[in-house]
Amino acid sequence: METRRFGPTGRAVAAVGQGTWMMEADPRAAVAALRKGLDLGMTHVDTAEMYGSGRVEEIVGEALAARREGVFLVSKVLPSNASYEGTVRACEQSLARLRTDRLDCYLLHWPGNHALEDTFRAFEKLRKDGKILSYGVSNFDVDEMEKAVRVAGAGNVACNQVLYHVEERAVEHALLPWCEAHGIALVAYSPFGQGKFPSPRSAGGQTLEEIARAHGTTPRRAALAFLLRSPVVFVIPKASQVGHVEENAGASGLELSLPEVAALDRAFPRGEPRPLPTL
C-alpha cells in the first residue's frame, strides 16, 4: 500500500483508507471488511461520533481490537458538541467506544456555532494529554481554512476532509491548490459519490472503462487514481463487502498517464468555481 505524508504531522499514511459511515447496518460484515482492509494495508480508518450515534465507533473498536498499532485512526466531533468542555468530553467518549487511548487525528466535522478558538483550545489540551496526536477539520472552504490556520497557528491543522469524486470536482478550483500550497492533507470523502458511481453506459463511465482496460484494472480503481494525482490527497472509500475492499486497495500505486488524466478531465468537467459542496 502506498503511503503519503499526512500534512504537517509528517506521518506516512495509507493513500487509500477506509470510510465507515453507515457501517452499523451490518456490524459483522463491517468488522470483516475493516480487518480485510487492514490486512491489505488500508490502515487509514475514518470514523465519527455521529455515525450510527456512536455505534460505528464501537464496530471500529471491535475491528481494531489487538490491531491498533500501525493504524491511523481518525474520528470527528460534532459541531454541536464542539465547545471547549464538549470537545474534551466527546473525545473521551469516542476513545472509550473505540477501545483505544488515542486518536491519530481528531476533526471538527463541519463548521458550527461554537468559537473555533474554543474547539482548537480543546484539541490542544487533548494533544498535550496524549489523547489525540494531531487535529484537523472537515467541510471547510478556503476562507474557513484561512481562519483555521490563523487560530491554530501554522503547522497545526493536519487536514481538511471534503467531498471529492470524479463527478464533484469543485475542490480543484481553489481548495486543493490552497492545501497543496500550505502542505495540508486533503482527504476525499465519498470518493465513489456515496454509491452513485458513473454507469458504464454513460460517456464518463465508458472513459473510465477504457482507461481501466488499458491498465488491466477496474473503473473504480481508475477513478480513485484520478483523485490521488495530487500528492496531498487521500481517499477513504467505504466498503462493507470484502470484495469491494479488495478492489479498492488495488487503486494504490496506479498511475494514470497525462493523456488519460486529460480524457477524464474532459469526461467529468469540473465546472465553474463554486462554494464547497457538502453532503
Q: Radius of gyration over alpha carbons of the chain, in Å?
A: 18
The answer to whether the beta carbons of residues 186 and 171 sit under 8 Å apart is yes
Report if residue 220 touches ligand NAP, rule: CB under 6 A: yes
DSSP helix/strand/coil, 106: strand
Cell numbers 487533548: residue: 126
**C-beta contacts of 170-176 below 8 A and 24+ residues apart:** 170/270, 170/271, 170/273, 170/274, 170/275, 170/276, 170/277, 171/276, 172/270, 173/270, 173/273, 173/274, 174/142, 174/273, 175/141, 175/142, 175/145, 175/276, 176/230, 176/232, 176/233
Report if residue 247 touches ligand NAP, rule: CB under 6 A: yes
Residue closest to ligand NAP when measured from CB atoms: 19
Told to judge if 189 belongs to the known catalytic residues of this protein, a careful annotator would answer no
Name 14's bridge partners: 3
Stretch that binds ligand NAP, among 1-9, 242-250, 257-265, 266-274 (CB under 6 A): 242-250
Considering beta carbons, is residue 9 or 190 the nearer one to ligand NAP?
190
Which residue in the set 9, 81, 190, 252 belongs to the binding site for ligand NAP (CB under 6 A)? 190
Stretch that binds ligand NAP, among 114-122, 145-153, 193-201, 205-213 (CB under 6 A): 193-201
Binders of ligand NAP among residues 46 to 65 (CB under 6 A) are 46
Report if residue 248 touches ligand NAP, rule: CB under 6 A: yes
From first CA to last CA, the distance across the chain in angstroms is 28
Shortest distance (Å) from residue 212 CB to ligand NAP: 12
DSSP helix/strand/coil, 107: strand
Shortest distance (Å) from residue 129 CB to ligand NAP: 24
- Active-site residue identified among 51, 106, 135, 164: 51
Which residue in the set 237, 251, 264, 268 belongs to the binding site for ligand NAP (CB under 6 A)? 237
Distance of CA 252 to the CA centre of its chain: 15
Stretch that binds ligand NAP, among 6-14, 184-192, 222-230, 265-273 (CB under 6 A): 184-192
Active-site positions read 51
Q: Which residues bind ligand NAP (CB under 6 A)?
A: 19-21, 46, 109, 138-139, 161, 189-195, 220, 236-241, 244, 247-248, 279
